[in-house]
Amino acid sequence: MAQIHLEIVTPDRKVLSQPVDYVGAPGIEGEFGIMANHVPFLSALGIGNLYYKDSGKYHYVFVAGGFAEVSDNKVTILAEVAEKAAEIDVERARRARERAEERTRLQKEEIDFARSRAALQRSLARMRCRASAESAGTCVL
Ligand code: ATP
């Protein structure tokens, strides 16, 4: 099967760089999927889970914010934050969820509410990322 090169970078590190069969990513306007020889494409990223298929298995990476670009049979993910499933500290995500839930209950100001909601989305997506990778048997570094 023809492959496409996937590279995921954040401002401080290269998270991943390898050929894959398929990439699904959380665009701000919904999920999009990319296979080999896709037309050039650019999208902003939301908060959620990127997944890719390699050797018949699905792997999961949490991403939050940034851009995805496809050109010359390469997908470049310039993420503000990205973590492979195995790098996620689930306890930390749980604590972040509790704080965010508490803040969304208490806050009335719209801006603070939006920030708390984004923090809640990040924590839930991190937990989902870890659970998906564990059930796919790909929660490894
Ligand atoms: P917290 O409140 O726990 O910091 P957050 O969602 O506000 O969570 P971010 O702003 O998304 O955190 O990330 C800040 C840095 O901390 C990033 O480098 C990110 O990769 C890392 N990070 C945050 N939460 C986790 C986690 N649960 N497991 C691993 N790394 C994390």
User: Any idea where the domains of the chain sit in the sequence?
Assistant: 4-86, 89-136
User: pTM of the prediction?
Assistant: 0.95
Residue pLDDT, tens place only, 52-73:
999 999 999 999 999 999 999 9
Start-to-end C-alpha separation, the chain = 25
DSSP state letters, the chain: ---EEEEEE-SS-EEEEEEESEEEEEETTEEEEE-TTPPPEEEEB-EEEEEEEETTEEEEEEEEEEEEEEETTEEEEEEEEEEEGGG--HHHHHHHHHHHHHHHHH--SHHHHHHHHHHHHHHHHHHHHHHHHHHHT----
Given the candidates 2.60.15.10, 3.60.20.10, 2.40.128.20, 2.170.190.11, the CATH classification of the domain at 4-86 is 2.60.15.10
Residues with CB under 6 A from ligand 1: 64, 81, 83, 87-89, 92-93, 96, 119, 122, 126
- pLDDT value, residue 111: 61
Q: Work out which ligand 1 atom sits closest to the CA atom of 89.
A: 28
Atom 16 of ligand 1, residue of closest alpha carbon: 81
Does the pLDDT of residue 104 top 80, yes or no? yes
CATH superfamily membership of 89-136: ATP synthase delta/epsilon subunit, C-terminal domain (1.20.5.440)
List the structure tokens of 73.
Answer: 């049979």
Q: Which of 123, 119, 49, 54 is nearest to 84 (CA)?
A: 49
User: Quick one: what percent of the chain has pLDDT higher than 70?
Assistant: 96
**Cα(89) to centroid(ligand 1), Å:** 9
